[in-house]
Amino acid sequence: MSFLPAPLGGRPDAVLARTTGLTRLGAGGIWFLAAAVTIDPVAPAVICLAALVVLVLWSGLESQVVARRMGPVFIAAAGLAFVAALASPANRDAGATVVLDLGPLHLTGPALAGALALGLRLIAIALTSVLVFGPGDVTAFADSLVQQARVPDRFAYGSVAALGLIPLLGADWNSTRAARRLRGLERRGPVGRTADVAGRLLVLLVAALRRAGRMALAMDARGFDSGIPRGRYRPVRTGRLDAIVLSGAAGVAALALLLARWL
C-alpha cells in the first residue's frame, strides 16, 4: 500500500509513470543543467517547449490540474523578468539597441534578452520538477531512490511520510480559524485578520511538530532505523523505456545547447 496516491492525479499507464523515479530524476537533472548553464533565452525556451510536449503527450497528468498548480509560477516568472529587465545594467549601455524609451522607463535589447532568459529558466525548472515528481506513485519514487541510488531508508521513506502530512497543514489552518471564531477570538477586518496570523502560525507549528513526532515514533516501531538489512516488497528494475527516456532527455539538452550557441 502506498503512502500517497499519484501526486497530480496522473495515469499509472503513462510513459513517464512506467519509468523509475531515478530515471526521471536523472532526465530532469540533465534539463536543469542545460537551462542553467546558458545566459541567453534560447536553451531555456527549447527546454520549456520540450517539457510542454512531454507534459501533454507522455506524462499522463491532467492539463487542467497542472495549469492550476503552475499558474502562480508563471505569474512569478513574468514579474521577476519584468523587474530584472528594468533593473538590468545593460540599460545603461549607450551602444545597445533601445527597445522602449518612455519617460523613466528605458529598456534595451540585451536587458530584455537577459530578463527573458531568467523568466524562461524559472519556468523550465518548474515544468521539469512537475515531470520528475508528478507522474507515478511517490512511494515508488522512494523505492527507486532506495534500491537504485542507495539512499537510506529512513531518509527516503521519511520524506514520503512528510509529503503525506503536507495536505493536513491546510486542514489545520482552517481548524484554527474555526476554533478562534467559535471562541469569539477572531478579529474583524483586514488588519485584525493579519494580526491573527502569527498566533495561528504558532498553533500550526506546534501541531506539525507533534504530528511529526508521532510519525517518527511509528516509523521507528516498524523498524525503519533498526540497522537490519531489509527485504524489498516492490523490486525496482531499469528497463528499455528508462534508457529511451534518458537518451531523449540528453538529446533535447544537447539540441538546446547547440541552438543557443548557433543563434
3-state secondary structure the chain: CCCCCCCCCCCCCCCHHHCCHHHHHHHHHHHHHHHHCCCCCHHHHHHHHHHHHHHHHCCCCCHHHHHHHHHHHHHHHHHHHHHHHHHCHHHHCCCCCEEEEECCEEEEHHHHHHHHHHHHHHHHHHHHHHHHHCCCCHHHHHHHHHHHCCCCHHHHHHHHHHHHHHHHHHHHHHHHHHHHHHCCCCCCHHHHHHHHHHHHHHHHHHHHHHHHHHHHHHHHHCCCCCCCCCCCCCCCCCCHHHHHHHHHHHHHHHHHHHHHHHC
Q: What residue spans define the domains of the chain?
A: 16-144+238-262, 150-221
Write down the pLDDT at residue 26.
Answer: 94
pTM of the shown model: 0.78
Write down the pLDDT at residue 102.
Answer: 66
- Which residues of the chain fall short of a pLDDT of 50? 1-6
Write down the pLDDT at residue 136.
Answer: 78
Write down the pLDDT at residue 208.
Answer: 86
Compute how many other C-beta atoms are within 10 angstroms of the C-beta atom of residue 217: 10
Length of the chain: 263
What span, in angstroms and rounded, lies between the C-alpha atoms of 82 and 145?
A: 39
